[in-house]
């Protein structure tokens, strides 16, 4: 027990150590009362008394008597300065001319706590008490004061107004107060205040005086707030002042006002009124202007009454910022509030309120208007509050001619704006602000007294159709589109047949779709059908275009409605009206359920209201073959039946009727067409009646083909499957999600399903990505991997997407050796077709095998799509792909034309144009002894926006270009190229048209005239020899002449000798146009006469030798034939021989006579006799390019 007591004592001491304790002696000054209180019950205010301070008395609050000393004890576990409050109160008693005390000194007590000093002023009526602030002046502030001393001034304890707060550091040094006013100071703990704070004085009240000038067109009223202290306002008119304590009207131009209170702006508010008179075209004055300084210190209400004649539009423009509309109950935060009220023709007043800071700056009003602007005290105001304009009121006139048996009803749908509809012309014009009915089949003038009547009125166009037992008078039900096209229109047809029959509405494909009765259709054409029973109208349903409902039959009498909003183009359903069969059903709805999977909802008549008592409604459903249907009730309400019962009946053709209640299971997974009939009983109409919303679900009954595609073994291969047929029953899905197109990503596995899909309706394609990320890519062959065998359709095409670095070129080579581009005139008829395109989809052409193209080089990413008749037989390789060095062109085709047929070259994208700023080249290698005829078959020239488009032709071993043409220059249609060449096309940035060229290359063998010329030369030499024998007398002279005037140029080396094997031709050359021998008698026989003998060559068959002089050094220029004889024989020709040294050329200086002597001196001028090259063309290599 002792241990426990000791522990308790220690805990008590510990608790006491944690408490704050303050003990102090307090003696309040004379005239001041001190009230202490605590905020916490566990921390009371205690007094200490008795011998040795042994007696302590504690209580929640304590009032100290002035000039009596008391010892206080504050003991609390919480901070003392936050726990206790100190109220120190005093008062100032004033007469009409003095105050006691005249100097207010604040006592310095309990500075450790938060204190509130309060001084109340008591003075006679009409006496003002002035408190002069000693020390720093005051400034009004709503925020806490930083120095811990805050002043509060209350003008009256009973007016209920919030005090005005001040902080030190301002310029206000005097407070003028009246009776019952109070000044208080809130001081933070440990903050000292000056002991002398105020100097008080009293004097008789002298009110505020002011002089004002009022505009003659303005009336001003000063109105006292009844809740404010009484204060009089007086006007001095002569010697007798006119005073009022409630309201004072100011009408004269100059007024001298005198108030009996110090701050009349706190007591009175000012109301100003002005008038503005408007004609149909102008207003006087044209602006609402005020004096911004007039009664600025007062709360002001400025009102303008604007009068306008009839059919006049009043326009208000607010220049000083926009307005925003608010409700009548809302307040404006800045105190500025605008009110606009307009009196309509029927006497009703429409009022709107606005605040500043919105986007509304323009108001159009109809009728007399009152505008009020409320301005807070001290509020700034522009001189022009608003501008006002008037204009004749816009009206709309139209001519209307109703169709026969058609009624037009124009009815108002809103209260605003003020507008009437009038019929006929003045003075017989009749107007109505709400309703107009047109029944006469004549041209009628209709006038609306507002510019936009479509915002005020709706139009109903009604037609009655009365049917006999077999036909209807209006077989075609079509709305009239020319009437009121910009109004909200409702077309109605009132239909009627004999009482026992039904009228039948047939809807064209694709039928109608039922929607909830309160909804509208997406195309803004909403149809509804109502029939009339003895018990009242019944709404059969609301319908939109595009659904499953094909026919509706309704009994006896009804109305079809079509609602179309204004400005909507009329596009109605062309439904047909017929007389239907006899029926006891309320309505019969025929439905064609769609193929495939669908869920279609239906509702009963009047849903969600009550289905008519003792009535039946039937739905006839046509179900597509190989489909199952299910019926499910989504929501229903069962009535209380007084007689009979609610029943649902199902019946199929030639089958018995199946009955079910609303809570029984409904048909599930059944096939075939069926009828559903809902029968109602006689119900207790005081309770909820019958309603039903149900759903008919349709699904296929076939079995899908399932396939799991596994691409994890082909990481770069993806598969695409797409519906291309029109069969709506075909359904493809991936992982149970139905889609029109399926993409199986590379490296993934997908579960595919194909339901009722013929193979020709689904297309299977696949693609593979081949990356070459650096220059060290290895060559590869494009082959098609084997896909999963469960796929039910064949592979249509396979695409390789080839990606290379930007500084590399992709080389495409056929594995069979060559490619052929499919073009008009050289179509590909092979079983394999390759479509090659750049990475951006730009086509480079369609290709097949065994053509003229040896290689295609592309400086871009490439896609190659192979289309094959059967990929199971042909899987490739289709192309060999290699990466090579960068080329300057976009595309290079390496072509080797064949002899059998011409070769066609087309720019990429043919017949479309080349891409802008791209270049394509063809390197064409010709076979030996052949030349090429180049023909530009089709050229489309662009109009270039930037740069030029070029066509260039150049032989491979030449620097000079054979042809270079821009797009604005005419190019040759044909060009003869003698050897392998380079064809280049460069596109510009076109502004109009595209750049495309189709070129044809035709090979032709070069003509070999060398052998013919050599034979002729030999015959001439032989003839000259024979001629020398005959002319023996002049032999020496003739021989010399022949040496100087020879007609044949013979270079150093072996001369032509008949039978020389060097010029012989083999039969393999097959040059049938080159002669093996020439009969000299046919050439020079007329010169030789009968003595000519054909030279048969040496008898020994050997070739004679000729001694040749040593070769002479080459010279910078050729020597002429007519120089001295020592220079007649030129040096040995170089290999290949020059043009003038060739036997295939003839000198133009020779005279055209029997011996071909020279006709002049001068430089050699040759004529080419043969187009055959002397040497075969060297092979083309990449290094030579």
Distance CA 812, CA 856 (A): 5
Backbone phi and psi for residue 351, each to the nearest 5 degrees, phi listed first: -120, 140
In the structure, what pLDDT confidence band is assigned to residue 1141 with cuts at 50, 70 and 90?
very low
| Residue keyed to tokens 């669908």 | 598
Q: Taking residues 449-471, report their average pLDDT.
A: 86
CATH top-level class of 470-481+494-700: mainly beta
Please give the pLDDT value at position 1031: 63
pLDDT at 644 over 80: yes
Q: Within 13 A of 891's CA, how many CA atoms are on the CB side?
A: 29
Give the tens place of pLDDT for each residue, 182-195. Answer: 999 999 988 888 76
Please give the pLDDT value at position 751: 93
Burial 428-449 (b: 16+ CB within 10 A, else e): eeeeebeebebeeeeebebbbb
pTM of the model as a whole:
0.45
Q: Taking residues 226-231, report their average pLDDT.
A: 75
Q: Can you read off the two tokens belonging to residue 1066?
A: 């083999």
pLDDT at 1043 over 50: no
pLDDT at 411 over 90: yes
In the structure, what pLDDT confidence band is assigned to residue 1036 with cuts at 50, 70 and 90?
low
* Pairing of β 268-278 and β 283-284: antiparallel
pLDDT at 267 over 80: yes
pLDDT at 213 over 90: no
Of 158, 152, 34, residue with least CA distance to 90: 34
pLDDT at 410 over 50: yes
pLDDT at 1115 over 80: no
In the structure, what pLDDT confidence band is assigned to residue 660 with cuts at 50, 70 and 90?
very high
**What ranges do the domains of the chain cover?**
19-192, 209-392, 470-481+494-700, 888-1007, 1010-1168
In the structure, what pLDDT confidence band is assigned to residue 276 with cuts at 50, 70 and 90?
very high
Please give the pLDDT value at position 474: 53
pLDDT at 398 over 70: yes
Please give the pLDDT value at position 1080: 46
Please give the pLDDT value at position 269: 92
Please give the pLDDT value at position 319: 78
Give the tens place of pLDDT for each residue, 44-83. Answer: 999 998 888 788 889 988 898 888 889 988 889 888 888 8
Please answer whether residues 146 and 139 qualify as being in contact, where contact means their C-beta atoms are separated by less than 8 angstroms.
no
Q: Is 582 helix (H, G, I), strand (E, B) or coil?
A: strand
Lowest average pLDDT, out of 427-436, 490-499, 882-891, goes to 427-436
Q: Taking residues 384-395, report their average pLDDT.
A: 88
Q: Taking residues 552-575, report their average pLDDT.
A: 89
Please answer whether residues 683 and 689 qualify as being in contact, where contact means their C-beta atoms are separated by less than 8 angstroms.
yes
Q: Taking residues 171-189, report their average pLDDT.
A: 88
Distance CA 1026, CA 1023 (A): 5
Distance CA 428, CA 449 (A): 16
Distance CA 945, CA 950 (A): 14
Neighbouring CB atoms inside 10 A of 868's CB total: 22
CATH number, domain 888-1007: 2.60.120.290
Q: Say which residue, 623 or 704, is predicted with more confidence.
A: 623
Please answer whether residues 617 and 691 qualify as being in contact, where contact means their C-beta atoms are separated by less than 8 angstroms.
no
Distance CA 212, CA 218 (A): 13
Q: Taking residues 272-300, report their average pLDDT.
A: 92
Please answer whether residues 566 and 486 qualify as being in contact, where contact means their C-beta atoms are separated by less than 8 angstroms.
yes
Lowest average pLDDT, out of 77-81, 225-229, 411-415, 1082-1086, goes to 1082-1086
pLDDT at 1122 over 50: no
Distance CA 987, CA 159 (A): 92
Q: Say which residue, 196 or 996, is predicted with more confidence.
A: 996
Domains 470-481+494-700 and 888-1007 share a fold: yes
Mean pLDDT of the chain: 81
């Amino acid at each position: 027990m002792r241990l426990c007591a000791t522990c308790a004592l220690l805990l008590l001491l510990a608790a006491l150590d944690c408490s704050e304790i303050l003990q102090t002696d307090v003696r309040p000054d004379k005239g001041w009362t001190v009230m202490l209180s605590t905020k916490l019950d566990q921390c009371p205010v205690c007094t200490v008394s008795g011998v040795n301070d042994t007696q302590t008395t504690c209580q929640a609050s304590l009032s100290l008597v002035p000039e009596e000393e008391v010892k206080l004890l504050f003991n609390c576990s919480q901070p003392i300065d936050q726990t206790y409050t100190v109220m120190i109160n005093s008062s100032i008693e004033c007469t009409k001319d003095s105050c006691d005390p005249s100097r207010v000194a604040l006592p310095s007590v309990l500075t450790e706590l938060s204190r509130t000093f309060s001084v109340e002023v008591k003075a006679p009526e009409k006496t003002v008490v002035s408190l002069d602030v000693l020390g720093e002046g005051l400034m009004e502030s709503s925020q806490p004061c930083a120095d811990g001393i805050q002043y509060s001034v209350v003008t009256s304890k009973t007016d209920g107004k919030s005090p005005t707060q001040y902080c030190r550091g301002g310029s206000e040094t005097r407070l003028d107060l009246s009776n019952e006013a109070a000044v208080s100071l809130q001081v933070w703990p440990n903050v000292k205040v000056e002991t002398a704070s105020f100097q008080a004085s009293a004097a008789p009240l002298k009110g505020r005086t002011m002089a004002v000038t009022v505009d003659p067109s303005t009336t001003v009223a000063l109105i006292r707030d009844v809740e404010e202290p009484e204060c009089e306002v007086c006007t001095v008119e002569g010697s007798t002042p006119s005073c009022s304590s409630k309201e004072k009207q100011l009408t004269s131009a100059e007024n001298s006002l005198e108030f009996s209170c110090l701050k009349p702006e706190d007591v009175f508010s000012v109301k100003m009124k002005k008038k503005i008179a408007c004609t149909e075209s102008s207003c006087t004055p044209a602006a609402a202007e005020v004096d911004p300084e007039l009664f600025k210190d007062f709360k002001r209400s400025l009102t303008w009454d604007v009068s306008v004649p009839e059919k006049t539009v009043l326009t208000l423009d607010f220049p000083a910022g926009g307005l925003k509309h608010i409700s009548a109950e809302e307040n404006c935060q800045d105190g500025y509030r605008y009110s606009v009220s307009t009196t309509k023709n029927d006497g009703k007043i429409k009022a709107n309120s606005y605040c500043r800071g919105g986007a509304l700056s323009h108001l159009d009003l109809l009728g007399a208007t009152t505008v009020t602007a409320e301005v807070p005290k001290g509020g700034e105001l522009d001189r022009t509050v608003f501008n006002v304009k008037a204009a004749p009121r816009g009206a709309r006139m139209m001519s209307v001619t109703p169709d026969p048996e058609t009624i037009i009803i124009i009815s108002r749908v809103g209260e605003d704006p003020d507008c009437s509809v009038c019929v006929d012309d003045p003075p017989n014009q009749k107007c109505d602000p709400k309703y107009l009915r047109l029944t006469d089949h004549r041209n009628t003038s209709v006038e609306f007294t507002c510019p936009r009547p479509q915002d005020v009125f709706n139009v109903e166009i009604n037609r009655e159709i009365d049917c006999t037992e077999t036909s209807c008078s209006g077989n075609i039900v079509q709305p009239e589109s020319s009437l009121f096209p910009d109004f909200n229109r409702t077309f109605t047809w009132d239909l009627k047949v004999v009482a026992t029959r039904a009228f039948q509405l047939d809807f064209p494909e694709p039928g109608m779709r039922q929607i909830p009765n309160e909804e509208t259709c997406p195309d803004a054409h909403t149809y509804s059908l109502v029939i009339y029973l003895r018990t009242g109208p019944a709404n059969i349903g609301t319908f939109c275009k595009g659904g499953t409902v094909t026919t509706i039959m309704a009994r006896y009498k009804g109305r079809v409605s079509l609602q179309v909003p204004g400005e909507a183009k009329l596009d109605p359903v062309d439904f047909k009206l017929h007389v239907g069969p006899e029926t006891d059903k309320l309505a019969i709805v025929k439905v064609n359920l769609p193929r495939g999977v669908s869920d279609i909802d239906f509702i009963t008549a009047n849903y969600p209201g009550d289905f008519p008592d003792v009535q039946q409604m039937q739905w006839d459903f046509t179900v597509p073959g190989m489909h199952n249907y299910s019926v499910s009730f989504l929501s229903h309400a069962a009535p209380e039946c007084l007689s009979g019962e609610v029943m649902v009946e199902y019946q199929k053709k030639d089958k018995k009727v199946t009955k079910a209640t609303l809570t029984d299971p409904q048909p599930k997974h059944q096939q075939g067409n069926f009828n559903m009939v809902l029968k109602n009983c006689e119900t207790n109409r005081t309770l909820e009646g019958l309603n039903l919303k149900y759903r008919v679900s349709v699904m296929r009954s076939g079995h899908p083909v399932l396939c799991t595609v596994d691409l994890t073994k082909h990481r770069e291969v993806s598969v695409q499957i797409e519906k291309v047929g029109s069969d709506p029953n075909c359904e493809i899905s991936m992982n149970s999600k139905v889609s029109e197109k399926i993409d199986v990503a590379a490296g993934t596995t997908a579960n595919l399903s194909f339901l009722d899909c013929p193979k020709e309706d689904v297309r299977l394609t696949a693609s593979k990505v081949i990356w070459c990320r650096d220059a060290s890519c290895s060559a590869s062959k494009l082959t098609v991997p084997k896909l999963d065998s469960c796929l039910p359709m064949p592979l249509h095409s396979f695409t390789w997407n080839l990606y290379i670095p930007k500084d590399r070129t992709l080389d495409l080579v056929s594995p069979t050796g060559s490619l052929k581009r499919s073009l008009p005139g050289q179509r590909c008829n092979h079983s394999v077709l390759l479509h090659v395109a750049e990475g951006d989809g730009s086509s480079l052409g369609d290709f097949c095998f065994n053509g003229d193209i040896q290689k295609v080089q592309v400086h871009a990413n490439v896609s190659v799509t192979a289309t094959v008749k059967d990929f199971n037989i042909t899987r490739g390789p289709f192309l060999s792909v290699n990466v090579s060095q960068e080329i300057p062109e976009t595309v290079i085709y390496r072509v080797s034309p064949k002899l059998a047929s011409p070769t066609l070259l087309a720019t990429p994208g043919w017949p479309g144009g080349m891409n802008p700023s791209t270049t394509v080249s063809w390197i064409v290698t010709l076979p030996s002894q052949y030349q090429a005829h180049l023909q530009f078959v089709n050229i489309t020239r662009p109009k270039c926006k930037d740069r030029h488009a070029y066509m260039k032709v150049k032989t491979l071993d030449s620097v000079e270009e054979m042809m270079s043409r821009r797009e604005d220059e005419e190019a040759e249609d044909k060009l003869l190229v003698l050897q392998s060449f380079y064809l280049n096309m460069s596109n510009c940035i076109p502004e109009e048209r595209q750049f495309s060229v189709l070129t044809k290359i035709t090979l032709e063998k070069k003509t070999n005239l060398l052998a013919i010329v050599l034979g002729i030369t030999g015959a001439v030499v032989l003839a000259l020899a024979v001629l020398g024998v005959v002319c023996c007398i002049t032999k020496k002279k003739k021989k010399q002449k022949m040496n100087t005037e020879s007609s044949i140029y013979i270079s150093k080396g072996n001369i032509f000798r008949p039978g020389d094997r060097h010029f012989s031709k083999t039969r393999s050359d097959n040059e049938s146009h080159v002669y093996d021998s020439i009969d000299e008698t046919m050439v020079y026989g007329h010169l030789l006469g009968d003595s000519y003998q054909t030279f048969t060559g040496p008898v020994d068959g050997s070739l004679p030798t000729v001694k040749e002089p040593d070769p002479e050094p080459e010279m910078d220029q050729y020597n002429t034939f007519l120089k001295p004889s020592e220079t007649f024989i030129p040096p040995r020709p170089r290999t290949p021989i020059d043009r003038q040294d060739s036997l295939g050329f003839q000198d133009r200086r020779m005279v055209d006579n029997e011996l071909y002597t020279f006709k002049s001196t001068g430089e050699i001028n040759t004529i080419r006799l043969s187009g055959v090259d002397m040497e075969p063309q060297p092979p083309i290599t990449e290094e030579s390019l």
